[in-house]
Structure formats: structure tokens, C-alpha cells
Amino acid sequence: TATRLVNAGFAVYGIDYEGHGKSAGLQGLVMRFNNVVDDCSDHFTTICATCKLMSNVTCSIPEFTCVSSAKLVKLLEQREANHIEFCRIKNLLDDILHMNKNSELKEILKLLMDPTWVATGLKIDFETLVTECEWASGRIGEMISLDGESDQKISSSSVIPSDFFEDMESSWKGRVKRIHIEEELAQLQSAAEALSSAVTEDFLPIISRIKATTAPFGGPKGEILYAREHEAVWFKGKRFAPSVWAGTPGEEQIKQLKPAADSRGRKVGEEWFTTMKVEDALMRYHEAGAKAKVKVLELLRGLSFEMQSKINVLVFASMLLVIAKALFAHVSEGRRRKWVFPTLAKSHRSKVVFKKSSYD
């Protein structure tokens, strides 16, 4: 029946309820089915009016960021929302605000209020929706680093492999605005510079000595490498120790080398070496990075707590965009297939009957 109605040009709307089917499409959870059938004709008329407005829109259409309401509630209640999720929530809110600022889309936004109420069971007036969306979007924008903002670059050094800093910092850096973690970033930068200096002073003279040594076969080898498994920067080499100590450049640094060890104190291998200065600098850098990461997570959890007070508005806005996206897709398909709009009219027997009207 649904297929025949669609092929005939009618809009067919289904409501998925908890535990029913495995729908992969857009769906809304309605706790009381009576809310849906309470006044079917009025809601159907509203949907038709919305589709007619959509078919005549001349402005650009938002992306309609769709976020699962259930996932939204879970993320905020358990304070698990990360930078990406907050960016999506802000995009969702900004879509609502974009519609409100455009005269054509604003009328559509107003018409979608009642269908969203039916789908969510939440009654929110239009002005409250706009005001709360503005506040939530602004608050997220104050805290989160948005696309295009690049005030926190990954640390770098000419003597340390770039992969090391990328792995250590990419999971948290650039998630919140710099102003909120100025102290932590300053400590991290200082620690990164100290690590670079330690590697330069303790390893680079040995590298220079090896490069200056000419041997056709079996000569000394050495390089500064990132030991990913151990999250460390060490010297790896062999046959670099002189057979005769003569006080030449690099000898003092070779004497300071000690076998590199893992977190349990076990020797990593015969070719891996470090120094006390490098190890101290590594520890300081890791501590600074861990402190900064904890601060970022605390800020994100705090933002989740703030957004919990607006959870009804967020759920309402999310469902409204789901409905808007579905209806715009329906209208677009209707244009392509030359469907016509159904309208409701009352018969003499007070029964609801279908009539058709053209999209044009």
C-alpha cells in the first residue's frame, strides 16, 4: 500500500517505535502513539504546506546536519562528547539559525515546529528554540576550535622525527581554543624545546662524527629515530665507539650513552642508546603533554555538562532537521518524477478524502 501511494505521488510517513524493525533510514522515537494520531488531518495539512513552500524555495539549502537524538542524549549525559561531536552539534544549531535568518526558510522552520513536537513529545515555542540555539552555538564556539582555526601547531624540531610530536600531540591539540589552555601549552612548548636541546647536545655530535668517518665497508652507523612502541626518541647505531680514545669530537657524548630501556626497565636492544639528559627531557615532555590532555578532556566534559541543561532544545532541533531533510529530499524527488501534492478535504459525510494538486 505504501509503495502504491508513493508511486502515485503521495508522501507516506512512518513512525518507528522502540524495538520495531531495523530501519536504516531516518526515524523518530514516539513514546505515545496517541500523540501521532491525535489530529492527523491537521498535521498532514502542515506537512503539505511545508512541502509546497520547499518546492518554491529559491535560496540555498543548509546541509541539515543530522545527529541521532538517542546518541546525543547519551554523549552529553555520560560526558563523552568529543571535539568532532561538538562540531556536529554546533553545525546542527547553526542550521536552525541559518533557517531563521532567511525569510523563505524561516516560514518553513515555523511550520516544522508542530511535526517536530509530534515526533519528540517536546513542546517548545519558536522564540525559545531560536534563543536557546543561539546560546548553545555561541557557547560551543567559545570553547571549541572550529574548522579553519590553526592557533595550535604541532611541535617540531630539526633533530627529532616529526612523527614523534604528531603521535604525542595530535589526539588533543587543536580541540579547544588556545585561550583556555595557555598555561599548559606554554609548559609543553618549553618541554619540547628542552627535549630538542638535549637530543642536539647528546646525539648530534655522534652523528657528525659518524658522517665524517670514511670507511668503504663495515663503517660506523648511527641515526636519531623515533621508537614508536616506547614513545621515545633514541640514538640507534653500531660500530661508532672508537677503538682508541683520543679526545676527538663526539667522544665525550659517546661515553655518556647508555642502553635504552622500556617502561619496565628492560633493555630494548643492542643498537638502541640514550642519555640521562635525554631521558629526563622525555619525561618532562610526556608529563607536560599528559597535563595538557587532561585539561582538554576536563573542558570538554564541562561543556557536556553545560549542554545537558539544553538537552530538550538539542533533541528538538535535531529531530526538526531530520524531518526537514526528509521533506526536502521528498520534494526534490517529486520534482524529478513529476509528482503532485495531495491535499485533504472534508467530504459531505465528514470523512477525510485525498485530492491532488500539482507541484507547480
pLDDT score at 352: 43
Task: Please state the domain extents for the chain.
Answer: 2-147+307-358, 162-302
Per-residue pLDDT of the chain (360 residues; tens, 9 = 90+): 444 544 554 544 554 434 434 444 444 444 444 444 445 667 677 888 888 888 888 888 888 888 888 888 888 888 878 888 999 999 999 999 999 999 999 999 999 999 999 889 999 999 999 999 999 999 999 999 987 677 789 999 999 999 999 999 999 999 999 999 999 999 999 999 999 999 999 999 999 998 887 666 677 889 999 999 999 999 999 988 888 888 888 999 999 999 999 999 999 989 999 999 999 999 999 999 999 999 999 999 999 999 999 999 999 999 999 999 999 988 888 888 887 766 655 544 444 444 444 444
pLDDT score at 171: 92
Tally Cβ neighbours within 10 Å of residue 184. Answer: 20
pLDDT score at 241: 87
pLDDT score at 34: 44
pLDDT score at 212: 84
pLDDT score at 135: 97
**pTM listed for this prediction:** 0.78
pLDDT score at 17: 39
